[in-house]
Chain A
């Protein structure tokens, strides 16, 4: 029997949302300041409106304080799901008024794409966009990748942090408290931010010959999009704009850092370091990167798309890394990517679908789940081959020796299947509109796995239903379904419960 949510449940959810919107309002002051410094008064006004809406919603939520602020599991999941719907909606206000979008849905699409660190874009005339707006696009990646909720956890005390943390699809509780874990995640991000921006900025100035201000502008934007494996770029030709192997190399290092789990970062910073290459997740991702790279490069070579060793190495390697880390930077135009058929297509799509490490900024099924599924399948096969009554106990190493329980294996397989279903849903909608199978699958996997590589399907003229479908895929894929189902269940109980 479904129990209808009561007024107190709405107060609890509203109060938590109020805190989160207040944090987002504060973060939104950054592009506002940028607009002031650049005297960009048109974007300035729209940032002011956005901050006003977040601040108002924040105060509205905080006004009705619940008797008990503690979030239980269902409250936490609903808060997470709603945050990831409302923040892109309000966050699209500057885009709506910029003139660079075909309508509110296009603007909300890019905001959702930014926050979910996907990187698919419907923006028009990006090359003439105001720098403060471009900064906001990339800052959305940073907020989404680091987790707005993580930020709220750092700043606000109060119960329910754990459910919010897990609701944002994070599995590692690295430190004893969720708050200290959240602080550590932000520390790692900020240290990488300083180092990454300096390195990219210096390369852009010294090697690419940009002037200093522009060099660091590009460095900052590419860092946000690379470390948070988002994929937006400040210019329309993505990473291909820079025409530089050194810049691509530095960007790849940042993408790898972003696709590493924060648990791995913790092990590097504070030990034990032996877990680095012993972890199932690390071994799995190295194997899948190698495998998809092999597939892709054989495919490109056989098709004669690249006929030189430097060309095949550089372009094949970068695209696979961009796909597997879930970043979505492209060094080739989408029209060219669309011609990568056969094994190259398979390599890139599989890389996108598998994704990065769990508890990182990357999307996809995630390396740990893939590893658990493989171990489970191997164990079940052994069980079949052994005499009846034999017991196969499976263990794995992930920051310590652990037992692969049937529940854990089932959970991994369920989420993997849900991702596959999500990919097929998006592909089905595209097929219904007459797109070819290859491009339908490619774009759908890119949206659902929060990657952002495109073969040209995603464009302003795309049918409305496809835009909405990809937005749902980006939302559900980023949150790994649980929070989404919790929200749907909450709404259903409210409507049909007793």
Chain B
């Protein structure tokens, strides 16, 4: 019983860590894309 509870707890904490990582990645992707968009916009405005 204890080993099952322990395994379950480990899975939940792993899931929680994974969820946090997922949020960080999602935010990171958007920040990266915004930066890329800013660079492109600056170049386009300068060229036009």
Contacts and interface: CB of A to CB of B under 8 A. Distances in A.
Asked if chains A and B are in direct contact (CB within 8 A), the reply is yes
Interface of A: 187, 191, 195, 249, 252-253, 256-257, 260, 265, 268-271, 273, 276, 289-290, 293-294, 297-298, 300-302, 304, 307-309, 312-313, 316-317, 321
A265 B18 CA distance: 8
Contacts of B7: none
Given A195-B23, A256-B30, A321-B33, A301 B41 contact: yes
B48 A301 contact: yes
Given A253-B30, A256-B30, A298-B44, A313 B22 contact: no
A327 to B, nearest CB: 13
B36 interface: yes
Nearest to A299: B44
Interface residues of B, number: 24
13 contacts: A195-B23, A253-B26, A256-B30, A257-B22, A265-B22, A269-B21, A270-B18, A293-B40, A298-B40, A298-B44, A301-B48, A317-B34, A321-B30
Contacts of B19: 191, 268-269
B25 to A, nearest CB: 6
Interface of B: 14-15, 18-19, 21-23, 25-27, 29-30, 33-34, 36-38, 40-42, 44-45, 47-48
A203 to B, nearest CB: 14
Given A252-B30, A270-B18, A293-B33, A313 B23 contact: no
B46 to A, nearest CB: 9
Contacts of B33: 289, 293, 317, 321
A302 to B, nearest CB: 6
A298 B37 CA distance: 11
Nearest to A303: B48
A249 to B, nearest CB: 7
Given A249-B30, A252-B30, A253-B30, A309 B22 contact: no
Contact of A270 (B15, B23, B26, B30): B15
Given A257-B22, A269-B18, 8 more contacts: A268-B18, A269-B19, A298-B44, A301-B45, A302-B48, A307-B45, A313-B37, A321-B33
A309 B21 contact: no
B22 A269 contact: yes
Listed residue (B18, B21, B25, B37) with the most chain A CB atoms within 10 angstroms of its CB: B37
**5 residue pairs, one from A and one from B, having the closest CB atoms:** A269-B18, A301-B44, A317-B37, A312-B41, A313-B41
Given A290-B36, A313-B38, A317-B37, A268 B44 contact: no
A268 B22 contact: yes
Contacts of A252: 30
